[in-house]
A and B are shown apart, each in its own frame.
Chain A
Amino acid sequence: MKFTILVYENESDFSARSDGARKDAYWGAYRAYTQALTEAGIMVGGAGLEPPPHATTIRQRNGKRQVQDGPFAETKEQLGGYYVIDVPSLDKALEWAARCPSAASGAVEVRPNLSM
């Protein structure tokens, strides 16, 4: 079964990416986590995302298009990346999701992928 692990990060997580004192810990943790997923043979794909200020949101309503700078919703935690994994059950998916570094600071959401 394929699941997507959505990595939600808070502002402090996003700033840790380039903060001299914290960036080694930040990237080290994600590199290690990504490598563990790969070596376990369950990694299907994924990507890290640039922070929310880099987002552009598009809406079309009644034939009118609206383009807006920034993410679609202003929330404390924002999508920072995602992993797609292939594991036998939701229990297993949760076990892996709990190891994602953002579980300890922001949040991690697990969703089964639709089978198409």
Chain B
Amino acid sequence: MSYAAAELAARSSYGRLLAYLAAWSRDVTAAEDALGEAFLEAVDAWPRAGVPEKPEAWLLAVARRRLVDVARHAKVEDRASVALRLVLDRAEQEASAKAMFPDERLKLLFVCAHPAIDEAARTPLMLQTVLGLDAARIASAFLVAPATMGQRLVRVKAKIREAGIHFEIPEPHELPLRLASVLDAIYAAYGSGWDDVTGADPRRQGLAEEAIWLGRLVTRLRPGEPEAQGLLALMLHCEARRGARRDAAGVYVPLTRQDVALWSRPMIEEAEGLLTAASAAQQPGRFQLEAAIQSVHAQRALTGGTDWEAIALLYEGLIRLAPTIGAQVGYAAALAEARGDESGLAVLGVLAPEVVAGYQPYWALSAHLLKRLGRAGEARQAYVRATGLSEDPAVREFLREGFDTAPESA
């Protein structure tokens, strides 16, 4: 087990305890504080008295007492306090009886991605509550000032309490949309979606493993949801290529030039299995389509070639469902390979200038296509623009090579 995997296993316990306490108290902040104090008490007591036989039940009992104390001090209405205590007593009995307690993490995920919660706060909230990541690490991943991230998380947790957002599995009629929000938030933790033109390495964010872990959690707690399976398949396909995305000198290698021997076969096989299972439900969706696109790319390991026409068709379907700038640039890249560079450039040409102004993959693909068409002057300009918008030195180096090999004048 890697260090990260061990860390995630430890976090699993934290997330389960917190979800349980938050679901019953309906107060995420109070639950976090109570659990935090329980952990502190454990650090103090366990080395002296030994680790209890059922550590989770022990932590739950301590956190429960803290929650009841806090509720009493807050002069919560007597009846509510009594109700809370009864509920928690029952929980403790359950916990000590079976050393197990209900897994409420799915409900917590639904709360984090609730429509009343600001979209930008959903993923950070999930990472903090379900995985116990601290605000500073989340802030780094999302390129936000840590103080700002801390404030946002505090505000959003107050909102859950004040708006009385319920910890529950949504009604069947609203479930598909609510589940889609949960999946979107998990995907946001993985990073930008597709990796062939962007050059983005989701690992630089440091949250790829966390996102995959959350994806697995959802497929386990809610088996047979085709879009959840699609999302996990998509992330696994992208993750499978991690080792191939940089060459020995650390320079970025685009998907089409990656050495397939460096792809992770087990991850690809798992992704393919998930995609097959998802397709049985015959409910296509955004993530299944994105995973299917990556699946076509993965075929190159077996056939040696890439069916660009199939990829272009899948992108057409994806754009109908989710016309994101990423999908449109991906479509242009596929079309250029399938039907010629002019077709790809035509797709890029209709995108709104204000949308593409700061979008690096648009400029990287433009540069690539313009160069192949012999329009060197325009290509060099696009290379410079793409370089200026890149964060990653490996990508800048790759683009500089492209720039240098575009002839000085057309």
Contact = CB atoms under 8 A, between A and B. Distances in A.
A binds B: yes
Interface of A: 24-25, 28-29, 31-37, 39-40, 90-91, 94-95, 98-99, 101, 103-105
A72 to B, nearest CB: 26
A103 B384 CA distance: 18
Interface string B387-407: 111111100110010010000
Contacts of B391: 98-99, 103-104
Contacts of A35: 384-385, 388
Given A36-B388, A94-B144, A95-B143, 13 more contacts: A24-B400, A31-B384, A32-B385, A34-B388, A35-B384, A36-B385, A36-B387, A36-B389, A40-B357, A90-B145, A94-B143, A103-B391, A104-B393
Contacts of A33: 387-388
Q: Most B CB atoms within 10 A — which of A24, A34, A104?
A: A104
Interface string B357-370: 11000000000000
Contacts of B192: none
Interface range on chain B (Cβ under 8 Å from partner): 10 to 19
B143 A98 contact: yes
B44 to A, nearest CB: 38
B256 interface: no
Contacts of B299: none
Contacts, number: 54
B324 interface: no
A112 to B, nearest CB: 11
Contacts of B393: 29, 101, 104-105
Most buried by A among B143, B385, B388, B403: B388
A40 B358 contact: yes
Interface of B: 143-145, 148, 357-358, 384-385, 387-393, 396-397, 400, 403
Contacts of A29: 387, 393, 396, 400
Contacts of A98: 143, 391
B47 to A, nearest CB: 40
B379 to A, nearest CB: 14
A94 B145 contact: yes
Contacts of B388: 32-37, 99
Contacts of A105: 393
Contact of A99 (B148, B389, B400): B389
Nearest to B147: A90
B205 to A, nearest CB: 11
A29 B385 CA distance: 10
Contacts of B385: 32, 35-36, 39
Nearest to B392: A104
Given A35-B384, A99-B391, A104-B393, A25 B143 contact: no
A90 B384 CA distance: 25
Contacts of B389: 36, 99
Contacts of A101: 393, 396
Given A98-B143, A101-B393, A104-B393, A32 B148 contact: no
Nearest to A25: B400
Contacts of A34: 388
Contacts of A36: 385, 387-389
A28 B403 contact: yes
A25 B397 contact: yes
